[in-house]
Amino acid sequence: MRPQFWIAGLSIMLAASPALAVTPCGTDCFLADTCERAEVQAAIAAALAQSGGTVRIPDPAVASCDWSSAIEVDASKVPLHIQGKSEESTHIRAPEGAFVLTGAPGLALSLSHLKLSDGACSGSCDAMVAVGGSDQWRVHHLRLETTGALTRLFRTSGNTAGLVDHITVRGSTPSEFVTIDGEDWSEWKTKVDLGSAAQVYIEDCDIAFTDAWEGRPFDGERGGRAVIRHNTIKNQILGNHGFDTGGTASMLSVVAYGNAFVIDDDDSAPWSSKTWARFAHFRGGTGLLYGNTWNVGSDIWINGTIDLAIYRNPDDSGGNESWKPCNGTQYRMCSNIGQDWSILKGDFPANCETDQDCQGIASDITCKWKFCSKSKLELCETDNQCPAGETCSGFLDGAGVDGYPCFMQPGYATQMQPYPWYEWGNTWAGGQGGSACATPPCDVDFGTSVSQLVQGRDYFDDVAQGSAPPATCTPLEAFWVESEQTLYRCESQDKWGVYYKAYPYPHPLQSAGVEADGGSDAGVVPPNDAGKDTGAMDGAAGSGADGGAGSGSGGGSDEDSGCGCTATGQPRSRLAFLVVLAIPCLRRRKRANRDGCHA
């Protein structure tokens, strides 16, 4: 039989079989047939069903691949890396969100080299990219374009730590770059460790909006921890949620340094505001801000401070939305929560003076929980429910006339112990009229408007700097040693301790073990070269002489045009499998412009 008839006959036998959606592109590498949602999902499923690896997404045949909903990825069993070809060309339009990524501790998880754009959303619109679970995740080399729709670009949640880097954002607001959430109440029982790997790091990003909206900043709550460093940020502010406007814990900590901010919104933009109330806005927890700069447009009126606020204070301009005010009243917590703060009935915890305060939740809810005398995240009814040496004698807020300290207010963190905010080396220039910086660069300090926040106790402006801390100190004051990248804090009278040491920059995840190399092996994932980005091409399914077919275990060479690649799909007969092997060779010219088995 002539070969062409043999091939034609076997092709007819397979005509009724579903089209393959996944093509291997090397060892542990899976190439989606197109960038359409279903085929990307199929490639991810193929990777997760085996030992993990890299999923590659090709460029769209037209302007973009439009997704109707986000792909939910459970990478809690195997490592997974999802890559487009480049952040300029692999364009996915996803008004309802693009990816929800869930990993597990110790397992690498990454997303890179894609262009994502939003649009009017009719669903939940929670985030373009959501990630959690893993402590080894990296989201990088993405371009995000916004249209002015109500959008959150990134969200992290749960017990997670990882890296967002080399993200380019262009467009208009209202858009929030990131919300960083943690495990909620349990986070406030854990150690403050501002320089550890156990944070969400955001670095080396270029974020520029033409419009301004102070209400959607860099944000966080539920015990989230963030380090924001070496970014350029236009028309967005840093901020966090506190224990004030919702039923969740305040963000635990924020460290921000080496960032260059620009405030210069476009007159023609619909959300344009030529009056800005602050450079940043924090409502709870603790943090460090140092070495940041703000460049303000000459037509902007601005209050040039880092604002600290307590919305539970009746006099605060933010207002109290969810909790009884912090005014010295001795509040307990309603019994709709368990001793571990889990919700038993209703939607949120509630503070109370009497059982009547809890009746709006359910008829059987009482004003139950007090707090251990020092460990103020430990709920109790009796002394034996508290750590050794403590009594069940505490209440939500302090007993003073203004309730100091208000629960989870700025300047407090783990177990509601004092952890002041510190700033140093922050400067700004620009502004209009009486608000302008007169002699640039001007100093940036904290600003407050409530009695519960006091300089030298809850926050410290202009931390002293030098080669070594002085011999004497007062508790809670701090000293920065630039050569050591270390902040010392006075732990007791005249006794210094290391409070913070900057985590290595760039983050180690930028250069180790999280990314396919995009080189001649067409997507093999070596253990140690994974973050060595080579620009747009490291998202390709292969570059170099072998055309991506792979000269290693993936098979193929220049002479066979990469047809040593195999295809995966549902089990078929041995004869059908041979035809599948042959099809890439027959179609090599048609596929020459795609990733995978190039001609």
Among the residues of 283-436, which ranges form H helices?
A: none
Q: Mapped to the 3 state alphabet, what secondary structure does 512-574 carry? A: CCCCCCCCCCCCCCCCCCCCCCECEHHHCCCCCCCCCCCCCCCCCCCCCCCCCCCCCCCCCCH
Q: Cα angle vertex 584, ends 580, 590, to 5°?
A: 140
Q: Do residues 252 and 293 touch, judged by C-beta distance below 8 A?
A: no
Adjacent-strand bridge partners of 82? 55, 111
Look at residue 319 in the predicted model and tell me its pLDDT: 56
| Residue spans per domain, the chain | 76-320
Look at residue 518 in the predicted model and tell me its pLDDT: 37
Tokens 């692999």 sit at which residue?
Answer: 90
Handedness of CA 311, 317, 318, 322 (dihedral sign): positive
Look at residue 578 in the predicted model and tell me its pLDDT: 32
Q: What is the pLDDT of residues 132-174, one digit of tens each?
A: 999 999 999 999 998 877 778 999 999 999 999 999 999 887 7
pTM: 0.83
Distance CA 564, CA 573 (A): 19
Per residue of the chain (599 residues), what is the pLDDT tens digit?
Answer: 433 333 333 333 333 334 446 888 888 999 999 999 999 999 999 999 999 999 999 999 999 999 999 999 999 999 999 999 999 999 999 999 999 999 999 999 999 999 999 877 776 678 999 999 999 999 999 999 988 777 789 999 999 999 999 999 998 877 789 999 999 999 999 999 999 999 999 999 999 988 777 666 789 999 999 999 999 999 999 999 998 877 899 999 999 999 999 998 766 655 567 888 899 999 999 999 999 999 999 999 999 999 999 988 766 655 566 788 899 999 999 999 999 999 999 988 999 999 999 988 988 999 999 999 999 999 999 999 999 999 999 999 998 889 999 999 999 999 999 999 999 999 999 999 999 999 999 999 999 989 999 999 999 999 999 999 999 999 999 999 999 999 999 999 999 999 999 999 999 999 965 444 333 222 223 323 333 343 333 333 333 333 333 333 333 333 232 222 333 333 333 333 333 333 333 333 333 333 333 22
Within 13 A of 491's CA, how many CA atoms are on the CB side? 8
**Chain-centre distance of CA 199, in angstroms?**
9
Look at residue 534 in the predicted model and tell me its pLDDT: 37
Greatest distance between any 2 Cα atoms in the chain: 98
CA 355 to each of CA 293, 300, 331, 336: distance values in angstroms, whole numbers, following the listed order: 50, 50, 11, 11
Distance CA 454, CA 442 (A): 22
Burial class (CB in 10 A: 0-12, 13-18, 19+), 559: exposed
Q: What is the pLDDT of residues 571-590, one digit of tens each?
A: 333 333 333 333 333 333 33
Look at residue 323 in the predicted model and tell me its pLDDT: 87
Look at residue 588 in the predicted model and tell me its pLDDT: 32
CATH placement of domain 76-320: 2.160.20
Read off φ and ψ for residue 281, nearest 5 degrees: -150, 105
Look at residue 7 in the predicted model and tell me its pLDDT: 35
Look at residue 584 in the predicted model and tell me its pLDDT: 35
